[in-house]
Amino acid sequence: MENLLSFWRKGSVRSLTYQWGLVVVIICGMFWVYDIATTNMARLGLKTGFDFLTDEAGFPISPALIDYSPRSTYIEAMIVTLLNTIFLSLIAIILATILGFFIAMFKLSSNLLLRKFGNGYVEVFRNVPLLLQLFFWYFAALKMLPMKRSSISFFDVAFLNIEGFFIPLPILEGGAEFVAWAVLIATLISAIIWAWAKHRQKNTGQPFPSLILGAGLIILLPLLVAWVLDFPVTWEVPKFGRFNFEGGTALEPEFTAMVFGLTLYNAAFVGEIIRAGIQSVDKGQKEAAGSIGFTNMQTYSQVIVPQAMRFIIPPITNQYLSLAKSTALAGAIGYADFFWAMDGAIAPQTGQVMELQAITLAGYLGISLFIAMLMAIYNHMTRIPER
């Protein structure tokens, strides 16, 4: 008995027991909730299960990144709308990061006008609810554009009107795959050069323009391959026909409003995160870099930003996760995202609420975990080893 009490008094054993006990209680609670739900649904005559996924959906989805028609199944509709959500999140994350970087630089600028603009931008967009901003861009901005016959022309190549933004569509001809391979190879070579330059600078202290060289390689190598193959990628420019635009592709107002809203709203937070991360680095680092002859760009790219990344990445990861989950607001303006399909289209037709909620939770959880994993990998790659 004394040996048992002595074993129980160990902190690790007691802690693990409490933790596993909590896990068992949570699992039992989930089974209890599931049993109550299925019992009530059976009493009301509602079916349970996932057999409905192979039934015909019967509703259109636009835009669709893969082939889809109303004759497609519910599971195909889920895949299409999940891809729409992922694509929208990716575009908004990239644009919000780029815009947020410039906002941070504006706020850190010695120029009074730029600094005031950055402060004003953050105060306005950060303090106005996202849903209200989406309504503004969709109903007050895009829906006030002219009709098709009076479209706003951009050099007769792209056209903006109330039905969307009509832009040229790339047409891939024979040999286009070699251009794609050239882009991939140039990207891999640029990554190798960047890793070599980083290792070289760590050992010798001598910087190397790896970013400039890599960007030039990614641009010039595909152009050279395309020139040798007589440019196998052509562009189909939209032209107004008798009743509508022909050729090209259109970015629908719902998608455009979502991109504007998500980008401008989240850029305010991203800018503040980047600004705070840069200011967290001791100013002596900048002075030391200047004393050994570093230019302002070299100071920021090789001294300040690498040290600031450990402060920037954790909060900016949370902001990316918040952005991805905010795409669920797309249904408010009619964009066909994952949540819109589950809650607004499939649920009223099938009544499979529990199953659809479980799939919705799994979908957004998968997107969030994937973003968190990528950011964790990037954080590990860029972290400064402790000496």
* CATH number of the domain enclosing 107: 1.10.3720.10
Does residue 385 have a pLDDT over 60? no
Per-residue model confidence as pLDDT tens digits over 118-157: 999 999 999 999 999 999 999 888 888 888 888 888 888 8
Q: Quick one: how many helices (H) and strands (E) in the chain? A: 14, 8
Task: Say yes or no: 151 and 274 in one domain.
Answer: yes
213 in a structural domain: yes
327 in a structural domain: yes
What pLDDT was estimated at residue 3? 56
Task: Say yes or no: 273 and 176 in one domain.
Answer: no
Does residue 370 have a pLDDT over 90? yes
244 in a structural domain: yes
Residue 238 burial by Cβ neighbours in a 10 Å radius (0-12, 13-18, 19+): buried
Task: Say yes or no: 230 and 259 in one domain.
Answer: no
What pLDDT was estimated at residue 368? 93
| Residue of 196, 228, 195, 190 lying closest to 212 (CA atoms) | 190
Torsion of CA 46, 51, 55, 59, to 10 degrees: 60
What pLDDT was estimated at residue 213? 85
What pLDDT was estimated at residue 236? 83
Q: Phi-psi region for residue 30, left (φ > 0), alpha (ψ -120 to 50) or beta?
A: alpha
| Residue of 88, 99, 82 lying closest to 266 (CA atoms) | 99
CB–CB of 322/375 below 8 Å? Answer: no
Does residue 300 have a pLDDT over 90? no
Report percent pLDDT > 90 for the chain. 30
Report percent pLDDT > 70 for the chain. 93
Task: Say yes or no: 130 and 253 in one domain.
Answer: yes
Task: Say yes or no: 152 and 175 in one domain.
Answer: no
120 in a structural domain: yes
> What's the structural domain count of the chain?
2
What pLDDT was estimated at residue 269? 96
61 in a structural domain: no
CB–CB of 211/161 below 8 Å? Answer: no
Domain boundary among 214, 235, 256: 235
Domain boundary among 235, 259, 276: 235
What pLDDT was estimated at residue 125? 94
Task: Say yes or no: 246 and 141 in one domain.
Answer: yes
pLDDT band at 364 (very low <50, low <70, confident <90, very high): very high
Residue 293 burial by Cβ neighbours in a 10 Å radius (0-12, 13-18, 19+): exposed
152 in a structural domain: yes
Task: Say yes or no: 158 and 185 in one domain.
Answer: no
Does residue 197 have a pLDDT over 60? yes
Sheet containing 152-154, strands listed edge to edge, beginning at the edge strand earlier in sequence: 152-154, 158-161, 164-167, 249-251
pLDDT averaged over every residue in the chain: 85
Work out the average pLDDT over 336-361.
Answer: 86
CB atoms within 10 A of CB 100: 24
What pLDDT was estimated at residue 260? 92
What pLDDT was estimated at residue 262? 95
**Is the torsion defined by CA of 190, 193, 197, 198 positive or negative?**
positive
Per-residue model confidence as pLDDT tens digits over 178-190: 888 889 999 999 8
Q: Is 76 helix (H, G, I), strand (E, B) or coil?
A: helix
Instruction: Output the pTM of the full model.
Output: 0.81
| Residue of 41, 43, 42, 77 lying closest to 57 (CA atoms) | 77
29 in a structural domain: no
Task: Give, for 236, the enclosing helix (H) or strand (E).
Answer: strand 233-236
Task: Say yes or no: 98 and 192 in one domain.
Answer: no
Enclosing domain of residue 219: 169-235
Range among 95-104, 242-251, 356-365 with highest mean pLDDT value: 95-104
CB–CB of 140/134 below 8 Å? Answer: no
Does residue 7 have a pLDDT over 60? no
Torsion of CA 326, 135, 105, 113, to 10 degrees: -160
321 in a structural domain: yes
